[in-house]
Amino acid sequence: MPKLHLALLLATTLVFGVPGLSLAQLSPDATSRVVEIEVPAPALAGNLLGTSEMQDAAIYLPPSYDSDPDRRYPVIYLLHGIFDDYGIWLDIEEVPARLNRLMAAKAMPEALVVMPNAGNKYGGGYYRNSPISGNWADYIADDLIGHVDAEFRTLASADSRAVVGHSMGGYGAINLAINRPGTFSVVWSMSPCCLAATDDFGFGNDAWKRAARVETAEDIEKLLADQDFYAIALLGILSAFSSEAGDPPVHGDFPFDIVRGEVVLDDAAYDRYLDSLPTRQLRAARDDLRALRGFGLDVGLGDQFLHIPPGTIELSQRLGAERIPHLLDVYDGDHRQKVGDRLETVVLPWVGARLMVAE
């Protein structure tokens, strides 16, 4: 096993960016490459949404990976949001080029970056375990990590492993930190969705009513054909957050009834739903979260998904109340516009500096 040391490359920059790093100036020739793989996913066996037990992923291999065959590398897992796939990182956010620049500038250590797909018919499984949508947390923590560690030259230890996610992926990063402790030592959640049942994610959104009116498989197909974003996403939330599988075609039980056209909460079911949120799970996970090498959150105050800023800030407040060290970066921006630049100038340098690397 190689000797390890902490990659304290940018310990003083925190959320203020990378000193001297110009996105225009640094575009070195690199010998990195991206490979696309298929991963067996037994954790998804028996899911009720027809999601395949073979999943795709893309892996960024750093510049020295092919030329230094004895070297092992830390790994960063990068989780996408709802209705996306790993193509968002490759084609839109240009993550490989950004990684090349950062590594050429020695602004982060050389690392593998694994970009899994995590979609289903409702846009995604939220990286949670569910009897309906499948055990997506176990897929990431067991199936995917096990496959990557077996097939690539990784430092197969939590001290050398990080998870970063955006939106649904940001929620997933938090959920994995809480419910799969000891898997990652560094966590960063970008604009995490679904932390608070308020605003557009609250039951005042009429999309809950449209989702609750589903009675047949044809009703679901119509929502999909109409691209009813919120109604489809809420069916995904219901399937991912339900602790038991109910009757088809929805399988989950809504935490409310529709009475005279209005939402009336079922108190017991609603409490079960709230108990599934990270804000209710921090105390039980406190010791594990305190043991992390780094825990970062960020959110843009102009996020179009109105529940995300208050949900992120509330999570930070509750982390503080439990004395769980973390970093909250609140910035001027929306949900997606600055994701790539923030990965390059803030998130990846901060995460990389906290990973153990081979000497």
| Same domain as 15, residue 143 | yes
Q: Which domain holds residue 216?
A: 199-274
| Same domain as 290, residue 244 | no
**Least trusted range by pLDDT, from 39-53, 68-82, 267-281:** 267-281
User: What CATH number has the domain bearing residue 287?
Assistant: 3.40.50.1820
**Which band of pLDDT confidence, cut at 50, 70 and 90, is reported for residue 5?**
low
| Same domain as 306, residue 159 | yes
Give the pLDDT of residue 2: 64
Strands, E assignment, the chain: 4-6, 33-40, 54-61, 75-79, 112-116, 129-130, 134-135, 161-166, 186-190, 256-259, 262-265, 294-300, 327-331, 356-358
Q: How far is CA 83 from CA 88, 120, 312, in A?
A: 10, 8, 21
- Which has the higher per-residue pLDDT, 19 or 312? 312
Confirm if 194 and 171 have CB atoms less than 8 A apart. yes
Give the pLDDT of residue 257: 86
**Least trusted range by pLDDT, from 10-19, 144-153, 303-312:** 10-19
Best-predicted range by mean pLDDT among 90-94, 199-203, 240-244?
Answer: 90-94
Q: pLDDT tens, 348-358?
A: 999 999 999 98
Domain boundary among 274, 300, 323: 274
| Same domain as 267, residue 310 | no
Q: Does 249 sit behind a cis peptide bond, omega within 30 degrees of 0 on the bond before it?
A: yes
Calculate mean pLDDT across residues 252-264.
86
User: Is 14's pLDDT higher than 90?
Assistant: no
Give the pLDDT of residue 295: 99
Domain boundary among 252, 274, 296: 274
User: Is 294's pLDDT higher than 50?
Assistant: yes
| Same domain as 207, residue 191 | no
Give the pLDDT of residue 7: 67
Calculate mean pLDDT across residues 25-40.
77
Q: pLDDT tens, 209-255?
A: 999 999 999 999 999 999 999 999 999 999 999 888 989 999 988 88
- Give me the number of domains the chain comprises: 2
User: Is 109's pLDDT higher than 60?
Assistant: yes
Q: How far, in Å, CA of 125 to CA of 135, rounded?
A: 8
User: Is 162's pLDDT higher than 90?
Assistant: yes
User: Is 192's pLDDT higher than 60?
Assistant: yes
| Same domain as 131, residue 214 | no
Q: What is the rounded average pLDDT for all residues in the chain? A: 92
Give the pLDDT of residue 8: 53
Give the pLDDT of residue 273: 85
Domain boundary among 274, 305, 336: 274
| Same domain as 249, residue 317 | no
Single pTM value for the model: 0.92
